Chains A and B, each alone.
Chain A
Amino acid sequence: MSGARPFDSAPLSVTALSRIIAGLLSVSDLHDVWITGELVDLRASGGHCYMELVDKDAGSGRVNARIKAIMWANIAPGIGAKFQRGTGQRLQSGLKVMVLGTVNYHPSFGISVVITDINPSYTLGEAERRRREILERLKADGVIDLNRSLQWPVPVLRIAVVSASGAAGYGDFVNQLYSTPRRIRFSVELFTAVMQGVRTAESCIAALDAIGRRVNEFDCVVMIRGGGSSSDLQSFDDYALAANVAQFPLPVIVGIGHERDTTVLDYVAAMRVKTPTAAAEWLIARAGECLDRLRQAAADILAAATDRMAGCNTQLSYCEGMLPTVARAAVQRSRATLDNARLSLAGVRASRIVPEQSRLGAAGDALKVASRAIVSRAMERLDASAGLLGALSPEATLRRGFSVTRTSDGHTITSAGEAAEGTVIVTTFADGEVTSTIINHQ
């Protein structure tokens, strides 16, 4: 090399060289400049953030340029917060960023950019702006939440897949789905579509239309593709495709790209997952929940049945134990009733019949006395009458010297007029009768 110093002149130590380099880099062109690049290998250590900024070839993704960068601990949180506020996501590897930095040279660590600020809107970028516009339009159309509001069928077993034929993502999905240890019987039908490039949206819509014509044969749609480069994802940021997904009558699971790659489909689909494998896992978990619910129901049924049976058993045993006692008690109660009746009867005899009897007896006695008195009174009266009768009798009159005159036919003559001359009369005296003929009547 012309102009090179001869090597016998005094050589530079690394330190001296570094010092020269550091001096050469201390120029205003490298001081506080805005730099754009993709963030890779971001890592935190001792509060500081270390990373690399790279430029990749748009077609091959090969790294064309790379430089180390650092955020010191005193400003790293502030930059992270600002970025998150502006973009809605954390500062992380894989993002395209615009940072304010100063090129610094350190004897041990070499050249690096010390970052002091970040421009989040750069990262949001053109693609993101377009994405937001699409979402705003879907919202204005009133369709943005339709697919997410759909009721998931139970269980989700019949799956229509929109994917490229032979794609690794589809293989991952099917492998995962059928390797479930629980042997859930999924049925999968592939509707092939172009999953990258300009025909993506049109092709996916055609596949959805084909599924829509047989909508009763499926429980859900799964749209998947392999990782691919992030630029490919922009073909999914399509209004027509997003509107189709949003209004699709079956729930749509979107598994396009990876965590950091979002498309508008992720906002309208009923379910978004990071990878095809994750889509399969989600379906398996959901079916597993159904199985678990069934098993739980079975356990509940068993428990309820067992409980009811135990209750029935207890009740029967109780009745069984009670029956003999109850029967004997009934007999004893009846016997007691009989005894009571007997006692009551005895009581009735004592309280009613005996007094009645004695009353009857007394009445008999009284009757005897009374009747005797009546008889004797009657006798006395008779005796008295007889005495009177004796005193008043014709015999007594006759004895006193009177006589009775009758006609021969027995008719008593009480006046002289009754006795005509020639009449035969019979005169009765106390000591006998004389018969006479009336010879003179005066």
Chain B
Amino acid sequence: MKFLAVCSTGLGSSFITQLNVEKALRELGVQGIETDHSDLGSVSQGDADVIVVGRDIAEAASGLGDVIVLDSLIDMKEITQKVSSALERHGITVPEKEQKQ
């Protein structure tokens, strides 16, 4: 399974988002999940199981499949919660879910 963080330039906001998704995955005790970041222009549907974006490009990313929209890219509580739900949507067990929610 793969999470792909996306922003317009693909090197600032999306990179920070990817690093925070990785942190959330560690906190949730989930292993073996792939993460990456990219720019909006080079992503197409099917590149990842879950696309993670900030609210400002939510509309532009809406055709990319399962999209997580974040209000803040640095709010670990929000990120962890939304990553956890996405994992469950994709049938992945989240070991540390109880402590985090």
Check if A and B associate: no
By a beta-carbon cutoff of 8 Å, the part of chain A in contact with chain B is none
